[in-house]
């Protein structure tokens, strides 16, 4: 379970960084466009908000699995893979 929560944490961090990079490219694209770039700024900020939301939901999932593992250890189910 610990390996699984580490994998979920790594994937969550990678997706967070990719979403922020995408948001940055969208906002920079609006800065270089010849027309009004307000919509690019709004869409970029929406992607920033989405990436933060996705990151915090992912962290909640990771902590759920960490606490589940701790709960199983406290209850004495050391060999939880058989359950």
Give the pLDDT confidence of 21-55 residue by residue, as tens digits.
998 888 887 666 566 657 888 888 888 999 999 99
* Predicted local confidence at residue 53, as pLDDT: 92
* Predicted local confidence at residue 17, as pLDDT: 93
Phi and psi at residue 52, to the nearest 5°: -65, -45
Percentage helix, strand, coil, to 5, in the chain? Answer: 85, 0, 15
Burial of 79 (0-12, 13-18, 19+ CB in 10 A): exposed
Alpha-carbon dihedral sign for residues 49, 52, 56, 57: positive
* Predicted local confidence at residue 8, as pLDDT: 82
């Amino acid at each position: 379970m610990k390996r699984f929560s580490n994998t979920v944490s790594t994937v969550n961090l990678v997706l967070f960084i990719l979403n922020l990079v995408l948001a940055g490219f969208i906002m920079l694209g609006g800065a270089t466009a010849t027309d009004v770039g307000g919509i690019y700024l709004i869409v970029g900020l929406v992607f920033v908000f989405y990436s933060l939301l996705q990151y915090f939901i992912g962290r909640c999932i990771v902590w759920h699995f960490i606490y589940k593992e701790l709960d199983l250890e406290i209850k004495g189910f050391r060999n939880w893979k058989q359950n």
